[in-house]
Amino acid sequence: MYQLIYESLFRQDKALTLLAHLLAEEYHILLDRDTATVAQLEFSIQELVRQLAVEKTFIIDLLKGCRVMDYADSLSQEEGQALRGLFASIDNNEQQASRQASRNAQLSLALLDQSSRNLHAITSQVTPATGEIYCRRGDMCRAGHPEAAILSGRL
């Protein structure tokens, strides 16, 4: 059982290191505003996160609700120390990936906000300020009466 847990924690540690690198790469691609590459990279990140979730569920099922650190305390000194070291490395890599994911999210939202403001500015410049637009005849169509009028003409 120790070997299975150690191997799963080792895979989690390497996957989290890879996740941190992928998130850092995504950040630089976001800075370059290469949306196609970001979309491709995002699929890889999502698949890696899915695999991490499977590994974590495997450990939870294997330990039957017991914590890894409690299990490490019940082992010999050498085996327990190895699990504690892996667990500390996993925790460090999770925090690093989380910080990078937060930076990516902030940058993505800032780019979205900037694009929205640019789009609004362009459309407000293109849209006529008044309701006057060109008609089929080629002259300016004036806006009708704002209030309803039943009768028109001279008396």
pLDDT tens digit sequence for 81-117: 998 999 999 999 999 999 999 999 999 888 888 888 8
pTM, 2 dp: 0.72
The pLDDT confidence band at residue 128, using thresholds 50, 70 and 90, is low
Higher pLDDT, 135 or 28: 28
SS3 assignment for the chain: CHHHHHHHHHHHHHHHHHHHHHHHHHHHHHHHCCHHHHHHHHHHHHHHHHHHHHHHHHHHHHHCCCCHHHHHHCCCHHHHHHHHHHHHHHHHHHHHHHHHHHHHHHHHHHHHHHHHHHHHHHHHHHCCCCCCEECCCCCEECCCCCCCCCCCCCC
pLDDT tens digit sequence for 19-69: 999 999 999 998 888 888 888 899 999 999 999 999 999 988 888 888 888
Domains assigned to the chain: 2-126 (1.20.58)
